[in-house]
Structure formats: structure tokens, C-alpha cells
């Protein structure tokens, strides 16, 4: 089959589709198809053995007409500029769909965190921030965690930024530990938000969630918290996986216990009473809800016809290619697109930024209540457009996100 897509070609195709549907001005379409700024840096650090390590880093700032750039930083050995550009575009649409006052950005460093010590990672992080610091800031660009970065990484970013400015700037980064201004509920927010969407979609599609079988690819921050939230609402988590492979148990497994096993054994595999499966097999399991929560490009034209889930909730960014999207839609599978499904993370990041700017700390209940309200509104806004257009939810979400950004460009005008 004729499909070999990169994340950027998928993102560009999605923008084109939305632009066509919205009858977007061709100039604005051209503006949105490129990022405003891409910064490439070389990160030189002293390794623990005394040698010098040199790592490539990137920060792509897509569009900021609705507010400062916002987006995660991922650490992964094979990151490319194209991939980060695609992810920065998704962030722009996502913030607009969630209706929060941010634009889109993404960053990354080509580094294998599994082969680095904590002190080496700290030096990489601080050096990376020092190289892009002029383009960061609470009203310019606010980083957050993504794959293989976490609250600790965000603490180093905040400290480096603050040291270079000469005063403490907690609002310079989100997803940091609560002790230094992080928000209650931020760590769980993306996974919880995915399940809020699943609840809404299940109600719309008459899917019963009590004992519904849920399979989750990726058992990191997002995958784990989605598993916990799914279990909380009565679903049965039948399969999870990580980079080493997956496990399956038709009777359901306990995510908290699997996490203990993973921390001890560095893998979810070989967990009691479960069958070891591959990541590919996980995607094709008979289940009610499939949640890809790891990498991009996982559901493609090569496996779309074997996906048996009734619903796919894209916790990961860009897990489904354009042709696979079409194939799932034709099979009647309800797909909740990434820019809606995983927007809970950036939504609570926005809450964190607001708390930092006002020097407040909200209780968890308030954060969770506001998250559910925001996600429900975003979900209903997307459904309303999809119903009007008689389209899938992806098209509805893209039209909503791209349309809001395009309108902001129109009213702001071009300077000079
Ligand atoms: P993480 O680093 O905490 O976890 C990543 C998980 O993916 C790990 O379990 C890892 O073992 C697994 N993995 C890595 N390579 C894999 C492979 N080849 N096959 C299967 N599994 C593999 O990252 P995270 O923060 O949970 O992010 C996961 C996804 O969610 C990413 O696509 C990210 O962009 C997206 N996302 C994250 C957030 C957030 O708040 N962290 C927000 C929105 C979207």
C-alpha cells in the first residue's frame, strides 16, 4: 500500500484538510504550515567518565498568536527536526481546541536517558536551557515534560532559567514538582483527561464502560495514569506495554501492582498470570478501548484493518497515520484525536501557570473539577463541528483548532 508517512507529512496533510474545509485564506494557510522559529543547538557536557559528550537539541516554536508558546521537551536518541516541527504544530491546534491562551512549541534532545546517569542528564538539561534561554520565558515560551522527561527535568529547567535571570521564576515551566510551584494533579492530568474523553465518547456511542476491556500501549506517565483512571471508572485494563514489550490478561490487571513490577524489573513483561505479547499484538487485541500512549506512527495502513477496538483514544501524539485514520473511520471505530484526547496535560499546565502568576496553590479537587469542565467543553465543541460536517472527530478537532488560530491571525493582522 502507498503509505510511508513522516510525522511532519501527517501534520501537513491534517492542516491541508482543515484549511480546505475552513476555506482558509491561502496566505494564512501558508503561514500556519511553517513554524515561526526553529532553534538547533549543540549541547556539550562533561560526562561522568571525564569525556565530553555532544548532543543535538532543538526547540521549534510554531505559532503564538493566542498566547505564549507552550510545549513539551522530549529526550529520545532519534529525534528529528521534522518530528519536533510536527509536534509543535499539534501543540498549536491542541491549545486552541482546549481554548487555553497558549501557542504551540516542542523541544527535544537526542539522548538515550537509559544510558545516562542522573547527573549527566542534569548537565544536559541545564546546558540545553542555557542555549535557548533568550527564547524562553513565562510570556514567551513555557516548556513541559514529554517522553523521557519528568518533574525533575522541569525543576532543573526552572532553576537554570531562574539562575540566569537572577530571581526565581516558577511560571517559566510547568509540570514541575509541587514543592516548587507545580500544580496538584499535573502528573496525572494527561491520563485522566484521556479517560474523561473516553467517558464522553462512550456515552455518545452507547459503549458500556463497566468491565469494558482497555488495552494501553506505553506504560509511562500518560499510559499509567490513563490505566488508573480507567480502572477508577470500572473498566478492566487487559493489556499494557512498554518499550520492552507488553502483557495481556483477559481478566484484567492492577496498574499499581504492574508499576511496582516494572520498577523492580525495568519491564512490564513476565508479570504474574499474564501472557507476554509484543507491542504490535497489543494494538490488535480484541478490546473495547485502545489507548496508544507511547510513540507516533503506531496505527498505519499495515495494521488498521486488524484493529478490533470499538474506540481508539490517542493519548500519544500522532499515533495514527492519515490512511489508517480513514480505515478506522470506515470500520466505524470512534477515534478520539490526540489534540483533544491528550489535552488534559496542557490544560493543567495552564492551571499551573495561572497559579504561579498569582502565587496561589489550588487544591487537587479544584484542579480536577476544572480539568473535567474544560475537557467536557472541548469534547462537546469538537463533536458539534463533526456532526455539522458529518466528519470524524479528527476533522472536527482540526477545524476547531486551526480555525481559532486563523481567526486570531486575522484580527491581529500582520506586522509591520
Ligand atoms: P514517558 O516517557 O513517561 O513514557 C513513555 C512510554 O512509552 C514508556 O512506557 C516507554 O517504555 C514506552 N515506549 C517507548 N518506546 C516504545 C516503543 N517503541 N513501543 C512501545 N512503547 C514504547 O512519556 P509520556 O509522558 O507518558 O508520553 C507518552 C506519549 O504521550 C508521547 O507521545 C507524548 O508526546 C504524549 N503526551 C504526553 C503528555 C504529558 O503530559 N506527559 C501530554 C500530552 C501528550
Q: How confident is the model over 181-200, as pLDDT tens digits?
A: 999 999 999 999 999 999 99
Give the Å distances, CA to CA, from 315 to 198, 298, 312.
11, 12, 9
192-203 per-residue burial string, b: 16 or more CB within 10 A, e: under 16 = bbbbbbbbbbbe
Burial of 160 (0-12, 13-18, 19+ CB in 10 A): buried
Active-site annotation holder among 106, 176, 236, 310: 106
| Residue 91: its H or E element | helix 81-97
What CA–CA distance (Å, rounded) separates 255 from 261?
10
What does the pLDDT read at residue 357?
A: 98
- Identify the band that residue 5 occupies on the pLDDT scale cut at 50, 70 and 90: confident
Residues 6+ apart with CB under 8 A from 87: 7, 60, 71, 72, 106, 317, 318
**CB of 317 closer than 6 angstroms to any ligand 1 atom:** yes
Q: Check if 190 has its Cβ closer than 6 Å to any atom of ligand 1.
A: yes
pLDDT value for 281 = 98
**pLDDT tens-digit readout, 354-363:** 999 999 999 9
Residues 379, 98, 105: CA angle, nearest 5 degrees = 135
Q: Are 303 and 282 in contact, with CB atoms under 8 Å apart?
A: no
Q: What angle do CA 400, 336, 141 make, to 5 degrees?
A: 55
For the segment 198-212, what is each residue's pLDDT rounded down to a tens digit?
Answer: 999 999 988 899 999
Are the C-beta atoms of 135 and 61 separated by less than 8 Å?
Answer: yes
Atom of ligand 1 nearest to the CA of 345: 40
Integer Cα distance of 257 and 260 in angstroms: 5
pLDDT of residue 402 exceeding 60, the answer is: yes
Task: Show the CA angle centred on residue 227, arms to residues 225 and 232, nearest 5°.
Answer: 95
Nearest C-alpha to atom 37 of ligand 1 is from which residue?
146
Q: Tell me, what's the pLDDT at 3?
A: 53
Reduce the DSSP state of residue 359 to 3 states and report it: coil
CA distances from 383 to 189, 231, 379 (A): 22, 25, 6
Percent of the chain with pLDDT over 70: 99
Examine the pLDDT at 2 and tell me if it is beyond 70. Answer: no
User: Residue 1: its pLDDT value, please?
Assistant: 46
Which residue CA neighbors atom 28 of ligand 1 most closely? 294
DSSP state of 250: T
What is the reported pTM? Answer: 0.96
How many whole angstroms separate alpha carbon 240 and alpha carbon 203?
24
The percentage of residues in the chain with a pLDDT greater than 90, rounded to a whole number, is 98
Residue 158 reports pLDDT greater than 80: yes
Contact criterion met (CB below 8 Å) for 228 and 255: yes
Nearest residue by C-alpha to atom 42 in ligand 1:
345
Task: Quote the CA–CA distance of 253 and 337 in Å, as a whole number.
Answer: 26
User: Could you give the C-alpha distances from 73 to 128, 142, 147, 296, in angstroms and in order?
Assistant: 11, 10, 8, 15
**Position 4 confidence tier, pLDDT thresholds 50, 70, 90:** low
Burial annotation 299-335 (CB, 10 A radius, 16+ → b, else e): bbbeebeebebbbbbbbbbbbbbbbbbebbbeeebbb
Closest CA to 328 of 314, 343, 344: 314
Cβ of 395 less than 6 Å from ligand 1: no
Instruction: Please state, in angstroms and rounded to a whole number, the distance separating the CA atoms of residues 53 and 270.
Output: 35
Contact 125, 160 (CB under 8 A): yes
* Contact criterion met (CB below 8 Å) for 190 and 161: no
Answer for the pair 307, 59: CB distance below 8 angstroms, yes or no. no
Q: All 3 cell numbers of residue 49?
A: 567518565
Kindly list the strands in the beta sheet with 52-63, ordered across the sheet, starting from the edge strand earlier in the chain.
Answer: 37-46, 52-63, 104-109, 69-75, 141-145
Q: Kindly tell me if the per-residue pLDDT of 382 is higher than 90.
A: yes
d(CA 297, CA 320) in angstroms, rounded, equals: 5
* Grid coordinates given for 29: 494557510
pLDDT of residue 206: 87
Q: Residue 175 CA: which ligand 1 atom is closest? A: 40
CA distance 141 to 129: 12
Candidate of 176, 243, 267 to mutate for ligand 1, largest count of ligand atoms within 8 Å of Cβ: 243
Is the pLDDT at 111 greater than 80? The verdict is yes
221 CA distance to ligand 1 middle (Å): 7
Amino acid at each position: 500500500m502507498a503509505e510511508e508517512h513522516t510525522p511532519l507529512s501527517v501534520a501537513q496533510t491534517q492542516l491541508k484538510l482543515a484549511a480546505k474545509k475552513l476555506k482558509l485564506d491561502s496566505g494564512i494557510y501558508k503561514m500556519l504550515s511553517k513554524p515561526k522559529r526553529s532553534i538547533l543547538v549543540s549541547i556539550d557536557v562533561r560526562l561522568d567518565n571525564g569525556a565530553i559528550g555532544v548532543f543535538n537539541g532543538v526547540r521549534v516554536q510554531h505559532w503564538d498568536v493566542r498566547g505564549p508558546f507552550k510545549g513539551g521537551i522530549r529526550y529520545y536518541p532519534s529525534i528529528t527536526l521534522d518530528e519536533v516541527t510536527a509536534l509543535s504544530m499539534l501543540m498549536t491546534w491542541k491549545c486552541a481546541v482546549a481554548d487555553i491562551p497558549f501557542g504551540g512549541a516542542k523541544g527535544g534532545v537526542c539522548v538515550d536517558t537509559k544510558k545516562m546517569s542522573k547527573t549527566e542528564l542534569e548537565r544536559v538539561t541545564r546546558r540545553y536551557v542555557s542555549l535557548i534561554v533568550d527564547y524562553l520565558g513565562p510570556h514567551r515560551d513555557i516548556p513541559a515534560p514529554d517522553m523521557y522527561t519528568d518533574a525533575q527535568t522541569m525543576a532543573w529547567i526552572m532553576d537554570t532559567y531562574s539562575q540566569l535571570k537572577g530571581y526565581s521564576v516558577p511560571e517559566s515551566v510547568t509540570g514541575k514538582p509541587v514543592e516548587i510551584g507545580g500544580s496538584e494533579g499535573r502528573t496525572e492530568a494527561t491520563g485522566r483527561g484521556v479517560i474523561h474523553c473516553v467517558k464522553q465518547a462512550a456515552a455518545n456511542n452507547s459503549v458500556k464502560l463497566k468491565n469494558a476491556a482497555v488495552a494501553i500501549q506505553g506504560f509511562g506517565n500518560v499510559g499509567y495514569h490513563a490505566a488508573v483512571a480507567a480502572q477508577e471508572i470500572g473498566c478492566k485494563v487487559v493489556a499494557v506495554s512498554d518499550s520492552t514489550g507488553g502483557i495481556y490478561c483477559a481478566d484484567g490487571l492492577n496498574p499499581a501492582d504492574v508499576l511496582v513490577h516494572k520498577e523492580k524489573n525495568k519491564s512490564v513483561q513476565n508479570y504474574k498470570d499474564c501472557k507476554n505479547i509484543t507491542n504490535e499484538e497489543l494494538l490488535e487485541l480484541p478490546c473495547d478501548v485502545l489507548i496508544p500512549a507511547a510513540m507516533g506512527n503506531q496505527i498505519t495502513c499495515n495494521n488498521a484493518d486488524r484493529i478490533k477496538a470499538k474506540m481508539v483514544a490517542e493519548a500519544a501524539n500522532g499515533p495514527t497515520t492519515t490512511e489508517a485514520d480513514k480505515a478506522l473511520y470506515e470500520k466505524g471505530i470512534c477515534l478520539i484525536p490526540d489534540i483533544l484526547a491528550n489535552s488534559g496535560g496542557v490544560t493543567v499546565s495552564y492551571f499551573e501557570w495561572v497559579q504561579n502568576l498569582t502565587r496561589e496553590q489550588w487544591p487537587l479537587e479544584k484542579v480536577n473539577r476544572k480539568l473535567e469542565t474544560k475537557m467536557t467543553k472541548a469534547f462537546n465543541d469538537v463533536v458539534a463541528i463533526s456532526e455539522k460536517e458529518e466528519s470524524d472527530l479528527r476533522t472536527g478537532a482540526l477545524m476547531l483548532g486551526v480555525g481559532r488560530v486563523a481567526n486570531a491571525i486575522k484580527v491581529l493582522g500582520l506586522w509591520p
